[in-house]
Each structure stands twice: as structure tokens, then as C-alpha cells.
Amino acid sequence: MKYAMKYLPDLDHEQPELRTADTRITITTRKRRVTSMRKPAVVQEALDFWSFAGAAANVVMQLGWPEVGYGVMESKVESGALMKHPWKRARTTSQYLAVAILGSEEERAAFREAVNSAHRHVKSDDRSPVKYNAFNRELQLWVAACLFVGVEDSHQLLHGKMSEEEAETFYQSSKTLGTTLQVPEDMWPATRVEFDHYWNLACQRVVIDDTTCDFLNDLVDLRMINPLIRLPFVNLLRFLTIGFLPPLFHRQLGLEWTENDRRRFEHLFTFVSAVNKFLPKSIRFGGSRVLMKDLQMRMKHDREMI
């Protein structure tokens, strides 16, 4: 407990500790037979293009900490503004996942410096309702933890629940989600059990005020996307986004999510998993490979990365 508390600034100790049932989505999917005959999964195998289905939900979770939320909403880096340049923001976030998981040390260092150049401008001023600085390691740890939760959830929805041993192996392979930026390795919870404890405590700091709630509901409804593109897919994407959000976020955002909705959500991924068996890896993992090629070209030609 001391480890987890060390990296949770301004935690309200009067608030009862949240349970995993509040802070994680419920996944009851049994292990797929084909998957169960393989060796335990590592995070490098989890970059199937369906792993990005919960991307919007993951941003919502990250912005649940007020310092992260206002850091994004008040960001002075116009070129990376979520509501003004959603496709660019989606590309850079997805590219971060790809380079953190698949990249070399050189590629991670280059991307880290690019992110740092943008983060230098993300800090609160006298008008900000909360104080924040994008270089704060506690905030970066929270964002990295959200990314891990999203990757693990999507992987288990596609392949079924992992055993404790498999979950530990998967977790140990995921540290670069944080260490690619400012989170040192000894700050990342050492075991999967310690991560669960950190996560439940960290979720106690999720506070979504009216301003943030309006911003995040616009994100859930994809209002930053051109209506001609959004309208044909908005119902599916909204369903996916809400499905990837834990109950804590449903309550704070006023989103309805029933047990029937949860079963439909799992059944969708059961169908997707069946279809995936017939797709070559070049298609399933092609997106991440394209992102890595793009990064390598940007490095080669000294072009902006984010």
C-alpha cells in the first residue's frame, strides 16, 4: 500500500477505496481454444487493429484526473488540440502505443523528445482551476496506466480472460507504456497485483466536473468529427466507447450501460474474434506496422513527429 500511495498526490483519504468492479469493465469471455494452445500472451501480440476500438474511452479515462483533463482542455499546443485536430491526435496517440511497444530504444528516445517538446507548453496558469504540468510523473503514470488497462481489456475481449500467471507475463511486458516517457521503471508497479491496488486507489482521484463532463460527452459522441463521416458510424463507436468505460466513469458522466448492453458488447467481440481467425496478420497488425514505418520515415527525413 505504501508504494501505491507514494504516487497518488492529494488523495482524499476519507473516500472509501474503490473495488475492481467499479474501476474495470467486466469480462467473462472464456479463453478461446486456439489461443489457449499458444504460449502466454505478451503485449507485443496485442496490437491487433481492434485494440484501438477503445481509444476514445481511453482518452476519457485519462482525462478523469482533473490535472490531465484541464491540461488537455486548456492546451496551448493548437496543432495537437483534440477537438480541432482529432485525426492528428489519434495518429500521434496510436503511434505512441506502437513505438512504446514495438520500437527500438532509439525510436522511443526520438518520440520521447518530440512529446517533450509539446509538453513544455502544457502547464497551468493563473486562470486554471487546477494546477498541472505535463512533465509531472504522477500524471504520466496515470496516463500510462490507462493505456495498459485499455490494451489488456481489448486483448481479453478478443482472446478470453487470462489466468493470473498469463496476466502477470502480459503485464511485465507492458512497462514501456510508461517508461517511454518520464516514468522510471521503479515507479511502475512491480507486479500485476500491485498495479491493481494502484489502479483502484488512483481511480479515487477521478473527478469529472461540469466543464469536463461536457467536453468528454462531446468526445463520446464524436462531435469533433465531420458529421458526414461521423453519422454512419456514430452509434457503433458510441457503443464501443461506453463499453470500454468502467462503471465509475458511467456514473460520473451520466451514461447508461445495462447488463444487456454488456452482454451485447462481449458478443460483438466474440464475433470479431471468429472473423479474426481468417484474417492474415498483415491485415490485423498492419496499422501498427504502418505507424512504425511512418515514424521511421519522419526520423530519417527529420520531420515533425507529433
pLDDT category of residue 65 using cuts at 50, 70 and 90: very high
What is the pTM for the complete model shown?
0.90
Angle between helices 192-202 and 164-172 (to 10 degrees): 80
Cell 530519417 locates to 300
305 pLDDT above the threshold of 50 = yes
For the segment 107-116, what is each residue's pLDDT rounded down to a tens digit? 999 999 999 9
Q: How far is CA 256 from CA 28, 75, 251, 263, in A?
A: 20, 30, 8, 14
Q: Are 72 and 142 in contact (CB under 8 A)?
A: no
Phi, psi of 232 (to 5 degrees): -65, -25
For the segment 158-183, what is each residue's pLDDT rounded down to a tens digit? 999 999 999 999 999 999 998 998 89
Q: Where are the domains of the chain?
A: 2-10+18-300
Cell 514501456 locates to 176
229 pLDDT above the threshold of 80 = no
For residue 161, the surrounding DSSP H or E stretch is none
Q: Are 50 and 156 in contact (CB under 8 A)?
A: no
Instruction: Tell me the β-bridge partners of 39.
Output: none
Closest C-alpha among 171, 104, 106 to residue 144: 171
Instruction: Tell me the β-bridge partners of 159.
Output: none
Cell 481509444 locates to 55
Closest C-alpha among 280, 287, 265, 274 to residue 35: 274
- Round to whole Å and give the CA distance between 194 and 145: 12
- Say which DSSP state 46 is in: G
For residue 200, the surrounding DSSP H or E stretch is helix 192-202
Which amino acid is located at 149 in the chain? V
Q: Say what percent of the chain tops pLDDT 90.
A: 61
pLDDT category of residue 36 using cuts at 50, 70 and 90: very low
Q: How far is CA 245 from CA 103, 153, 165, 288, 304, in A?
A: 28, 10, 25, 23, 32
For the segment 118-142, what is each residue's pLDDT rounded down to a tens digit? 888 889 999 999 999 999 999 999 9
pLDDT category of residue 94 using cuts at 50, 70 and 90: confident
- Round to whole Å and give the CA distance between 114 and 28: 40
- Round to whole Å and give the CA distance between 150 and 155: 9
